[in-house]
Amino acid sequence: MVSHGSEQRSPARPLSRAALIVLAACCIALFALIPVAIARPAHHGKGKHAIFGPAQITTNPEAEQAPAEQEAAAAEEASEAPEQVQTPEQQEVATQQGGAVGEQTARTRHKGTRESGHHKEGAKEPGHHKEGAGETERSRESGKHGEQGQPVPTSPTTDDPAATSTAMAAPPAQPTASIASTVAPVVAAAPSTTTAAVAPSVADTSIQGRSSGRAHALRSASAAARRRAARAVPAEHALATVPATQLRAGLTSRSSKSSSGARRQSSRKAAGDGRPSPITTTITRIVAVVPTPVRVLIVALLALALALAVRSRMAALRTGRLERQRGQLLEDVGLLQAALLPVPPDRLGPVGTSVAYRPAAGPGAGGDFYDVFALEDGQLAVIVGDVSGHGRHALPHTALVRFTLRAYLEAGLSPRDAVQKAGTVLERQLGDQFVTVVAAIYNPRERVLVYACAGHPPPVVLATHGDSRSRGNSGSDGDHGSRVDSRSLQPVTVCSAPPIGCGLRTGTRQSVVSVPGRSQVCFYTDGVTEARVGDELFGAERLLVTLAELGGQATASSMLESVVVQTDSRADDMAACLLQVQGGDGTPTALAEELELDRRQLESGRAERFLLACGVSQAQSAEMLGAARAALARAETVVLELHLADGPPRMALRRDHLSYLHAQHENVEVYR
């Protein structure tokens, strides 16, 4: 699930990063050049006027007026881009426009030079040569109109954009201006580094070669704009502080007054144009007095700030991505945990089932595991275990052990056989870890529980029909405990089988318990009984009392909650599985005990203690052990069965899955 998500995102990541880098570079360049651009406000002014020129065609009475207005609108739109005039593309466009403008202006003032300028420009741009020639004719026409309509048609005005606009607005100029409008967005997006390079050269040439054809129009426009800036700056008493514009302002100041009328006209069409805003002026003045090293420093700081901003943005994006991945991972962990700690139905046949798990610390699954499931023949199987170690490293073994045992139980093996086979199979795969486990099968028809432990505490089996709460006052705690004990099964723990994975033969013990009445069977891990109450362990006795107090309505969850309330500290995971068996009165009793003996257990005296713990008399025990010793002379192991149901214990010896004959004594019978 996670990998799928990352695959989806991975192609987009470099793209967005590259886009960010490009954007950052553009912004850095922009920031770097703002002071420079502000220091030369003439360029902006020029550009605006060169473009806004067409907007001043208000007096043209001819049929060209409508296209001229269209043209004006297009040019106005194009002029929205602030740096458009200085870029090469715009230069080209302006040159084309200048072809018309230049002819018009030259015709007004310098006829001879106009022709040469036109030829020069036409040679530069052969593609526009023919068009340029046509434009010449038509612009003459429009030029006449312009002359007629110009409010100030004096010769100095020819330098002013107001005059150039007349030609630009003429129909011949329409295609070029529309190019300008389409180019404008591109121009606006282009890096403004060209601004500084192009602008001065344009300005210079405009001063030197005012009479040179099409180029002249652009130059005149720039000169006019510079004049305006120069006019603005002196008006703001900044002439002396703007050395960069001072000279040019002086050179072009002669036409400054005459252009004001046209400027007023243009400001009617394009609001906001004209005088630099107070902010621009202020910035201009500040920039003007800032020394170059400081300017560089500011630019560097701006670049740094921008880079940090970009970096911060990217970090934020990454954070969001990681958050999403974390959410997916938690979902996955939840799914895995559910696979290891399944939620059984509330009821399997006639038996109420519940499970609960409380990790000791940290997230989710530790080493504890459980499973409750129905077998084909209507029986019910339970697995509860604990892998040594916790956390992620225990998870694979947890799953391995659980599913191995489940498979053996579903295949029809008895709990002891399942544990023994699992012990043999898993021994090699568990490495340094070992597993304690209890496997059980409950037969609801016969009301018999069969369980086998491997290093694991046996289940608590407690009758709930004589609920302590229904008996009124329960008296002292000890009295209460003894009464509970009388209703519960006392398991035989002598000769318990060792855990799986210890390098020892396991699956050597199995117990068969009759559950005649309403009872609860509680499987748990040692985290429950090893929880601490002060200096003591919580222990199986307290667990028994807790279960008795909770009664027939107890669930595994409520039981663990109660344990948590009663204990001071819980160092280990706690897992529990509770079966609520319905029925009448009746106390659980042991039906049979099974022990697989080897010579060592026989020699160490454990077998004898086992027999004694099961209630076998000393004499019977000695007799049985003698028979077992004889059997072990011919076999590795022998299974000792004790039937405890009625009267004195009856014993039987058998080799595993084979009958073993020992019929010398009446209380030792052949089984199978």
Partner 1 sequence: MLRHADKTDAPVATAVEFGVICHQLDDRTSLISVEGELDLSSAPELKWTLLDSLDAGRDQLVLDLSLSTFMDSTALGVLIGVNRSLGDGGRMAIACARNDVLHIFELSGMDGVFAIFATLGEALAYIQRDPAAPRGAAKAR
Assess 290 for contact with partner 1 (CB under 8 A).
no
Shortest distance, position 662 Cβ to partner 1, whole Å: 24
First and final CA of the chain: distance in angstroms? 54
| Least gap, CB of 360 to partner 1 (angstroms) | 6
Q: How far apart are CA 356 and CA 346, in angstroms?
A: 12
Instruction: Give the pair of three-digit tokens for residue 123.
Output: 């040679």
CB of 212 or CB of 436, closer to partner 1: 436
Span from 142-150, 331-339, 419-427, 498-506 in contact with partner 1 (CB under 8 A): 498-506
Nearer to partner 1, 135 or 386 (CB): 386
**What whole-number distance in Å separates Cα of residue 169 and Cα of residue 70?**
9
Cβ of residue 332: shortest distance to partner 1, in angstroms? 19
Contact 64, 170 (CB under 8 A): yes
- Minimum CB distance to partner 1, residue 391 (Å): 4
Minimum distance, C-beta of residue 440 to partner 1, in the bound complex (Å): 16
| Of residues 92 and 530, the one with the C-beta less far from partner 1 | 530
Which of 35, 498, 588, 649 forms a contact with partner 1 (CB under 8 A)?
498
Strands (DSSP E) found in 16-117: none
C-beta of 388 vs 558, nearer to partner 1: 388
d(CA 525, CA 506): 18
Q: How far apart are CA 444 and CA 581, in angstroms?
A: 8
Backbone dihedral angles phi then psi of residue 228, each to the nearest 5 degrees: -65, -40
Of 175-183, 252-260, 505-513, 659-667, the segment contacting partner 1 by CB under 8 A is: 505-513
Q: Which stretch binds partner 1 (CB under 8 A): 207-215, 261-269, 506-514, 623-631?
A: 506-514
499 interacts with partner 1 by CB under 8 A: yes
Q: Could you give the string, one character per residue 560-599, with x where binding to partner 1 holds by CB under 8 A and - elsewhere?
A: -----------xx---------------------------
Shortest Å, Cβ 607 to partner 1: 10
- Measured from the CB of residue 599, what is the shortest distance to partner 1 in angstroms? 10
- Examine residue 360 and tell whether it contacts partner 1 (CB under 8 A): yes
Q: Contact with partner 1 (CB under 8 A): which of 66, 361, 407, 411? A: 361
Residue 529: CB minimum distance to partner 1, A: 9
Q: CB within 8 A of 503, min separation 6: which ones?
A: 427
Count the Cβ atoms, other than its own, within 10 Å of residue 298. Answer: 16
Distance, in Å, from the CA atom of 447 to the CA atom of 607, rounded to the nearest integer, reads 29
Q: Please state the length of the chain.
A: 672
Enumerate long-range contacts of 128-131, CB under 8 Å, 24 or more apart.
Answer: 128/96, 128/99, 131/172, 131/175
Smallest Cα–Cα separation from 233: which of 182, 177, 280? 280
Q: Which of residues 13-32 bind partner 1 (CB under 8 A)?
A: none
Residue whose CB is less far from partner 1, 134 or 362 = 362
Pairing mode of beta strands 448-454, 368-374:
unpaired
* Least spacing, CB of residue 362 vs partner 1, in Å: 8
What residues form DSSP beta bridges with 452? Answer: 439
Q: How far is the CB of 519 from partner 1 (least distance, A)?
A: 22
Q: How far apart are CA 464 and CA 311, in angstroms?
A: 67
Half-sphere exposure of 9 (CA within 13 A, CB side): 15
CA–CA distance, 463 with 488 (Å, rounded to integer): 6
Please report, as a single letter, which amino acid is at residue 300: A
Nearest to 95 by CA among 177, 195, 186, 191: 177
Residue 182 carries which side chain, given as an amino acid letter? T
- Angle, nearest 10°, between helix axes 213-235 and 161-169? 140
Of 52 and 357, CB closest to partner 1:
357
Contact with partner 1 (CB under 8 A) among 232, 460, 495, 513:
495
Query: Which one of residues 381, 419, 497, 578 is an interface residue with partner 1 (CB under 8 A)?
Result: 497
CB 554 within 8 A of CB 578: yes
Q: Would you count residue 459 as binding partner 1 (CB under 8 A)?
A: no
- How many whole angstroms separate alpha carbon 584 and alpha carbon 564? 31
Query: 150-209: which residues touch partner 1 (CB under 8 A)?
Result: none
CB of 394 closer than 8 Å to CB of 367 = yes
- Smallest distance, partner 1 to C-beta of residue 587, A: 23
Which tokens belong to 192?
């403004």
Q: Annotate 545-560 with b (16+ C-beta within 10 A) or e (fewer).
A: bbbbbbbeebbbeebb
36 binds partner 1 (CB under 8 A): no
The least distance separating partner 1 from the CB of residue 395, rounded to whole angstroms, comes to 11
User: How far, in Å, CA of 667 to CA of 669, rounded?
Assistant: 6
Residue 283 is a binding residue for partner 1 (CB under 8 A): no
Give the residue, chosen from 314, 504, 625, 668, that forms a contact with partner 1 under the rule CB under 8 A.
Answer: 504
CA–CA separation, 215 and 356 (whole Å): 89
Question: Residue 394, interface with partner 1 (CB under 8 A)?
Answer: yes
Binding mask 593-632 for partner 1 (x = CB under 8 A): -------xx-xxxx--x-----------------------
Q: Rounded to an integer, what is the distance from CA 375 to the centroid of its chain?
A: 42
**Stretches 92-100, 160-168, 386-394, 402-410: which one binds partner 1 (CB under 8 A)?**
386-394
Q: What x/- string results for residues 515 through 544 when contact with partner 1 is judged by CB under 8 A?
A: -----------x---x----x-x-------
**Helical spans, DSSP H, in 170-273:** 174-189, 193-208, 213-235, 243-252, 259-269
Name which of 2 and 613 has its Cβ closer to partner 1: 613
Instruction: Tell me which stretch binds partner 1 (CB under 8 A): 57-65, 122-130, 225-233, 361-369.
Output: 361-369
Which of 143/423 has CB closer to partner 1? 423
**Mask for 410-449, x = binds partner 1 (CB under 8 A):** ----------------------x-x-x-------------
- Asked if 85 and 94 touch (Cβ cutoff 8 Å), the reply is yes
What is the C-alpha separation between 656 and 499, in angstroms, rounded? Answer: 20
Nearer to partner 1, 139 or 506 (CB): 506
Least Å distance, CB 503 to partner 1, is: 6
Say if residues 469 and 424 touch (Cβ distance below 8 Å): no
Looking at the Cβ atoms of 82 and 389, the one nearer to partner 1 is 389
Closer CB to partner 1, residue 103 or residue 572? 572
Of the two residues 463 and 497, which places its CB atom closer to partner 1 in the complex? 497
169 secondary structure, DSSP code: H
Binding site for partner 1 (CB under 8 A): 360-362, 366, 386, 388-394, 432, 434, 436, 453-457, 493-499, 502-504, 506, 508-509, 526, 530, 535, 537, 571-572, 600-601, 603-606, 609
